[in-house]
Amino acid sequence: AFDLGLADFEKPKLSFADVGGMDEVKDAIRMKIIHPLQHADLFRAYNKKVGGGVLLYGPPGCGKTLLSKATAGEIKANFIALGLHQILDMWIGNSEKNMHEVFELARQHAPCILFFDEVDALAADRRDLRQSAGRNLINQFLSEMDGAQSDNDGVLILGATNAPWHIDPAFRRPGRFDRTLFVPPPDQPARAAIAEVMAKNRPIGELDPIALAKKTEGFSGADLKAVFDLATESVLEEAMKSGKVVPLNTKDLIKAAGRHKPTTKAW
Ligand code: ATP
């Protein structure tokens, strides 16, 4: 990944296998994004519309960014991510020009996923954010998304938000964010699947993913990552004493889970 000043740009190696759970969301993304790109002629033959954007919503830390990156990896596309601060920075100065350049960059690097994190920063249905400069930036965004001046062939737009009800309906029109997908907090089987993903790159003795999932009610994917990190730190301490790799076991993870406070509240 290298920093373009405005946006992060990379070609992710991740795939859906690196995202635990979310089977329904993955299927919806396959239908809306992956298949239309891979079978463009077939979709055209059935006059099935392709393009438009997908809005992912759900509680923080439950994998919206990870899933977007993995989607890029699945189709070997480039990935450009823009966060809240980068969007807000655009307010000041050359906002429309910057927005245009981000879309141009994506067009030049198609197939490309353009990911807007915290898209509500831009699309919030709030008057104070919609004055003068903000208004122009919003209009520029919508016209870029419509492909008003340049074709968006091979540019796939994903947005993420924790507050979809704040999104201005103008952003939801056909050809814009016309599909909304809920990325839920992981249920027990999903937490077990996430634990298996996280175990892949670490020395594991024995792992009982279901037992861990049972002890992590209300934990997000990000919380589970914190649990793995905490448990890793404690076995690393032991490992440093002995100078040998000490594998992680279910009990280490359950102990770490007891020390971590989950962030996800009821959704
Ligand atoms: P936010 O709304 O705060 O931007 P988000 O929904 O985009 O959050 P991510 O940034 O994708 O969440 O997730 C944070 C981290 O948690 C990921 O980098 C990953 O390590 C872990 N994680 C979350 N969900 C999953 C999952 N389903 N499978 C594997 N890891 C996950």
Q: Tell me the CA–centroid distance for residue 19 and ligand 1, in Å.
A: 9
| Three-class HEC string of the chain | CEECCCCEEECCCCCHHHCCCCHHHHHHHHHHHHHHHHCHHHHHHCCCCCCCEEEEECCCCCCHHHHHHHHHHHCCCEEEEECHHHHHHHHCCCHHHHHHHHHHHHHHCCCEEEEECCCHHHHECCHHHHCHHHHHHHHHHHHHHHCCCCCCCCEEEEEEECCHHHECHHHHCCCCEEEEEECCCCCHHHHHHHHHHHHCCCCECCCCHHHHHHCCCCCCHHHHHHHHHHHHHHHHHHHHHHCCCCCECHHHHHHHHHHCCCCCCCC
Q: Measured from the CB, is residue 20 less than 6 Å from ligand 1?
A: yes
Res 242: pLDDT: 93
User: Mean per-residue pLDDT for 120-124?
Assistant: 77
Whether residue 195 contacts residue 256, with contact meaning beta carbons closer than 8 Å, is answered with no
Res 52: pLDDT: 76
Q: Tell me the CA–centroid distance for residue 264 and ligand 1, in Å.
A: 12
Closest Cα partner for 62 from 261, 223, 231?
Answer: 223
Atom of ligand 1 nearest to the CA of 56: 6
Q: Tell me the CA–centroid distance for residue 15 and ligand 1, in Å.
A: 14
Please state, in angstroms and rounded to a whole number, the distance separating the CA atoms of residues 119 and 160: 6
Closest Cα partner for 53 from 147, 176, 223, 180?
Answer: 176
| pLDDT tens for each residue of 77-94 | 999 998 877 776 766 667
Whether residue 185 contacts residue 58, with contact meaning beta carbons closer than 8 Å, is answered with yes
Q: What percent of the chain has pLDDT over 70?
A: 90
Which residue has its alpha carbon closest to ligand 1 atom 23?
221
Q: Tell me the CA–centroid distance for residue 157 and ligand 1, in Å.
A: 19
User: Mean per-residue pLDDT for 215-229?
Assistant: 96
Res 3: pLDDT: 45
Residue 13 pLDDT grade (very low, low, confident, very high; cuts 50, 70, 90): very high
Q: Tell me the CA–centroid distance for residue 165 and ligand 1, in Å.
A: 21
Q: Measured from the CB, is residue 226 less than 6 Å from ligand 1?
A: no
> Does 130 or 220 have the greater pLDDT score?
220
Atom of ligand 1 nearest to the CA of 63: 11
Residue 227 pLDDT grade (very low, low, confident, very high; cuts 50, 70, 90): very high
| pLDDT tens for each residue of 137-175 | 888 899 999 988 788 888 999 999 988 888 888 899 988
Q: Measured from the CB, is residue 195 less than 6 Å from ligand 1?
A: no
Which residue has its alpha carbon closest to ligand 1 atom 19?
222
Res 136: pLDDT: 80
Q: Tell me the CA–centroid distance for residue 259 and ligand 1, in Å.
A: 20
pTM for this predicted structure: 0.91
| pLDDT tens for each residue of 193-217 | 999 999 998 999 999 999 999 999 9
Please state, in angstroms and rounded to a whole number, the distance separating the CA atoms of residues 38 and 71: 13
Atom of ligand 1 nearest to the CA of 197: 29
| pLDDT tens for each residue of 23-73 | 999 999 999 889 988 888 898 899 877 777 999 999 999 999 999 999 999
Q: What is the ipTM of this complex?
A: 0.97
Q: Measured from the CB, is residue 121 less than 6 Å from ligand 1?
A: no
Res 203: pLDDT: 93
Average pLDDT over all residues of the chain? 88
φ, ψ (nearest 5 deg) of residue 54: -120, 130
Say whether pLDDT at 2 is over 50: no
Closest Cα partner for 134 from 168, 101, 102?
Answer: 168
